[in-house]
Structure 1
Amino acid sequence: MGKQSQTTAAVKPKVARRYQTSGKEPAIIMKEATALWWAEATPSKSNIFSVADKATKSNFTQMIWGKSTKVGCSIKQTCNEDNRLHSPFYVDYVVCLFKESGNKVGEPIYDIGNGCNSDNDCTAFSNSRCDRSTSLCELGNKIGEDVYETGLGCSSDSECTQIPNSKCNTDRKLCVAA
């Protein structure tokens, strides 16, 4: 039982708002969700995460949490009661898991420093680099860079091998669970 509760706490997701679409591509859905999170940004005089931050901008602060070096996201697409994908009641959910998770009340959102002038100034994480336009150290892909491939999509059920019993939705070129 103790191990189960530790596992649950370790993978607590940070969830985007729910919003309705009518058949948008996954790349567009992901960009819209992250734009909603980023829109929570507000000026702050403190670098310490607070209870007020938790209520008003926790999606944004998780995205910029200084100790988070990995993120994985998934899109859940649901249908209306008639199982029609292209309908006014089609809803997408975006869920992202961050490691290390942030939004811990009383902890700094990020380390305050003098900024960087070169990659040699970026020492907190190996392989981080200096973005000279912002004087911030970054790790991973640059902001605005795609971090995934959408591929050509499927054209037949035989191409859907990653998800057991999935079928190809040829209109959307996506493999979906049956």
Structure 2
Amino acid sequence: MKKSRYWMAGLLTLVLIIGIADIGLFRSTPTNPKSSTSARQPSAKTVAPITKSAWAKQPKLKYASIIYYAVHHLKIQRWQEVSDFELGWQVEIYPNDGHPKYLVWPDAHIQADAKQLQPNWFTITASGQVTYDSFTVHSFRQDQTATVSTDQILAQLRQDHAAKKVRAMVARLSVVHHH
């Protein structure tokens, strides 16, 4: 009889241990399957890539993309003068016989009296070539230029994962049209 009591007590202890372990497993497993999938999703919103169609709808986005490329990928030193992303930029557009010339000034709120030195500028051809130009200060040398296709600029933006940064630039970019 004593053997059967020990035997029952041992069996009961074993059942309790298994039961407690089983409850612990159930508690560590999420009861709501949605909570586990939402934890795996990135918290940051994905930003739409910048495309030619987006440029057509938002010219300021196009100008911001061109400036971003100049600041980060051109070898023309004077383009670094417009690299302050907090101050922003002012783009002045001159008709230039049907081929607009885009002057780029540092500071979205720059005033005429601060525009003493010739700025950097760019032009865009109908075939999608962007020519960057920069006046060489205190020199009798020719202006420094570089030509890049709009396709190259868009590809570089994708490679840099810069869509969010370029889209944020638009808010700090003012445009002045001259007729």
TM category, shorter: under 0.3
Q: Highest Rg: 1 or 2?
A: 2
- Structure with the largest fraction of helix: 2
